[in-house]
Structure 1
Amino acid sequence: MFPSFSYEMPTRVEFGRGVALRTGEEVGRIGGTRVLLISDEGVRRAGLLDRVTESLDHASVPWDLFLDVEPNPKDRNVHAAAAAVSKSGADCLVAVGGGSPIDCAKAVAIVAAAGGKVREYEGRFKTSVLPLPIIAVPTTAGTASELTFGSVITDTAAKFKFTVKSPLLAPKVALADPEMTATMPKNLTAFTGMDALTHAIEAYTCRAATPFSDAPAIVAMELIGKYLRRAWKDGSDMEAREGMLLGSLLAGVAFSHSDVAAVHCLAEALGALYDAPHGACNSIALPAVMEFSMDACVDRYARVAACLGLSFSTPREGAEKAVEEVKRMAIDLELPSLSVFGIKEEDFDEIAAKSEANSSNPDNPKILTKADYVGILKKLTSA
């Protein structure tokens, strides 16, 4: 029996070295006349904005710049950027960066167009107002926010991460330029790369998986398994950077048409409470959650092992090797333990309760209780 599912891919992806230099041209193609460029200080300091602004200037597209995007973008960032849209008269957004600037831009796109507060659009928003069009230029190979439908924003008062989700929020164009990822330091390469691997593994093994999500997830795992260590070891290895960006994109297609699972439930709770980087939390939690979930999806975990280049004789052996390989990757990439973020034991119950309440928890191969999450937190902070 094959599951019922729907598939939609609104974003046009342009992949290849140098495509970021076509930003100005692409603004014209989607009908934009004035741009608000949304990014952050880290991207600016890395010199990555220059290629985009030079392209806008070359195409005679006027632009204004908004850089006040924090990691785990906050509701205050969205509201400030929406005010900047109104002040500038921009009719198009260009988001340059990792998941934070791009997620922020998606939320800005609807708030600037329809008004109100961003939390009002939590879930699948219902509005007759179309969001502003977005062109996304990723500078990391991890979140795939440049082609996904959701925007994850932190409610600063409630210390809670919520999602605004609709195909209407997907960027019109993703300019996926591997050269824009080449300046990532080793720790960011590790965190974002393992984040992409988490997307692929969870999309493939969760209960919401479909044939249309399986196919990109499988290729994503193959690419990430082949290239992540290489990209981490030598950031100038452009074949590895290309492979990782492509793997990240495919993992994004996969989880957009499936779901994520318990790793993300835990990471989102930690990010909301401690403002810990999402990719880092995912990468650190992945091996422990896989170990917990393995018995519920042995055959699928064995396929994960095969995608990662491992040989085995039985599905059980393959599943165990998949878990061990992800543990080994975490060690090889020098990932820290969760304790580096100052996680307090007295907060375990709150973190676990928020994780259990996450809408993706029921899609984990083995549904976790609050007590299960507490057990995983103890393991992760004692490592």
Structure 2
Amino acid sequence: MTSTIALPRLLRIGAGASRELASVLQSLGLSRPFIVTDAYLQESGRADGLVQGLEASGLTAAVFSHTVPDPTVRSVDAALEAFRQGDHDCIIGFGGGSPIDTAKAVAVLAVHGGPMSQYKAPHAQDLPGVPIIAIPTTAGTGSEVTRFTIITDESNDEKMLCAGLAYLPVAALVDYELTLTKPKRLTADTGIDALTHAIEAYVSKKANPFSSTFALAAMRAIAPNLRRVFANPDDRPAREAMMLGATQAGIAFSNSSVALVHGMSRPIGAHFHVPHGLSNAMLLPAITAFSAPVALPLYADCARAMGVAREEEGDQASVARLIDELRQLNADLQVPGPRAYGIEETRWNSLLPLMAEQALASGSPGNNPIVPTSDQIQTLYRQAWAA
């Protein structure tokens, strides 16, 4: 059986990689970029820094800075309209997952048109759109190396998973120095997001030797450094390891899949506007405990890669350590559960059937070691509430 592997044509990784944007564009034969970013990166001057670097090389760029967290159909349409007002030959996603995901959606719609809803899974959009260059500023989503984007349909509060080679950037500039000013909450949430990517990619039914190698490498990079960057944002070696680990985790799940955690996480974000990494963190311990009994060797490998179990320990003991570690990690990183986050219990419970339906419809739970029923998903949501 063969595995299909897809990667950006070009990766530049390391301190200062983002300053090489002009030379990367020129090497790809591109010269008229449209930069998609957010208000913070615009107001802080970081987007202007990109533009100035391009201008110094004789390139000009337009900037769209009105992306929103968890991008919506409306916000994507606004970016698409701005893109169409110029003559651009590529799109640069500069920021966290939201600007990069917005850039990906615009790249497809600019060429192929239609409403975003026609591209949601199980549709696979492999025919290319506008070339995408990704410059991540968070160590979390891995969107710079994935063939996915997530867009929220405001009409029904659905987070739509859109997949295909059209969403895969042609180049990614992975510069950990861009993460040095990230606040603690964002550091924690994006870090757990990356760890979840790695774990789910490894235990997924679609895992393969290539993706599993990157998943284990990501766990080895993230696990010993996540608490370090949370406690000391200026810890450069830890920041570098987290950025590399997030990219490795992105490569892993883009070439296998995510699973039940992500399937259940998206409805929480859509209905309650919980940041994606945080909703993953709320679910990860309970879903790991649910899934592990049918895949003990795989989850035990995760425990060993993360350094919470010794190589000689048995699988059962290793998995018990893994579940304990995930619970303790949430405590150490001050992850609130749904109740502590402020979600109203009656509304949470009333939406459980719909959230379970949306989770299953995304397809991600089908990749889990054990595929849950709607009732089991609702039980897991209740467990997350009580945690």
Q: Mean alpha-carbon deviation: is it higher for 340-349 or for 167-176? A: 340-349
Deviates more, 1:265-274 or 1:249-258: 265-274
Count, aligned residues: 380
Paired residue for 1:192? 190
User: Which one of 361, 378, 381 corresponds to residue 377 of structure 1?
Assistant: 381
Partner of 1:365: 369
Q: State the match for 1:38 in structure 2.
A: 36
Structure 1 CA distance for aligned equivalents of residues 295 and 253 of structure 2 = 17
TM superposition shift of 1:297 = 0.8
Change (3 A) 1:126 1:323: closer
Provide the TM-score with structure 2 as the length reference. Answer: 0.94
* Contact 1:79–1:117 (CA under 8 A) maintained in structure 2: no
Query: Quick check: 1:230–1:237 contact (8 Å CA) kept in 2?
Result: yes
**Rounded Cα–Cα distance in structure 2 between residues aligned with 1:32 and 1:341:** 47
Aligned partner letter, 2:246: S
Which is further off, 204-213 or 44-53? 44-53
Which deviations, in whole Å up to 9, do the C-alpha atoms of 1:319-345 show, x marking residues without a partner? Answer: 111111111111111111122151522
User: Which position in structure 2 is the counterpart of 1:319?
Assistant: 319
Equivalent residues in 2 for 1:18-37, closer than 5 Å: 18-37=16-35
1:65: how far off? 1.3
Unaligned runs of 5+ in 2: none
**Alignment correspondent of 2:130:** 132
Per-residue CA deviations over 1:68-127 (Å, capped at 9, x if unaligned) read 211111111221111111102222111111111101101100111222222222344457
Q: Matched residues in 1 for 2:284 and 2:214: separation? A: 19
The residue that corresponds to 2:57 in the other structure is 59
Which consecutive residues of structure 1, in runs of 5 or more, have no partner in the other structure?
none
The answer as to whether partners of 1:10 and 1:167 remain within 8 angstroms in 2 is no
TM-score by length of 1: 0.95
Shift of 1:367: 1.4
Instruction: Determine if the alignment matches structure 1 residue 345 to structure 2 residue 356.
Output: no
Q: Report what 1:99 is aligned to.
A: 97
Task: Tell me the SS of whatever aligns to 1:65.
Answer: strand
Q: What is the DSSP-based 3-state SS (H/G/I as helix, E as strand, rest coil) of the residue aligned with 1:135?
A: strand
Aligned-partner Cα distance in 2 for 1:29–1:365: 42
Task: Return the offset for 1:46.
Answer: 4.2
Separation in structure 1 between the aligned mates of residue 342 and residue 65 of structure 2, nearest angstrom: 25
- 1:310 aligns with 308
> How much does 1:60 deviate?
2.1
The alpha carbon displacement at 1:275 in A equals 2.5
Mapping of 1:73-222 within 5 angstroms?
A: 73-123=71-121, 124-125=123-124, 130-222=128-220
Which is worse superposed, 137-146 or 4-13? Answer: 4-13
CA distance in structure 1 between the partners assigned to 2:216 and 2:126 by the alignment? 35
Distance 1:376 1:222 in 2: 28
How far does the alpha carbon of each residue in 1:4-53 deviate from its partner, in whole angstroms, 9 at most, with x for none? 42222234110010111111222222222222110111333444323312
What is the percentage of aligned positions where both structures have the same residue? 34
Deviates more, 1:37-46 or 1:189-198: 37-46
Give the conservation status (yes or no) of the 8 Å contact 1:138–1:146. yes
Give the drift of 1:290.
0.5
Tell me which amino acid in the other structure corresponds to 1:333: L
Q: Deviations over 1:192-230 (max 9, x none)?
A: 000000000000012111111110000100111111111
Within a 5 Å distance, the mapping from 1:236-251 to structure 2 comes to 236-251=234-249
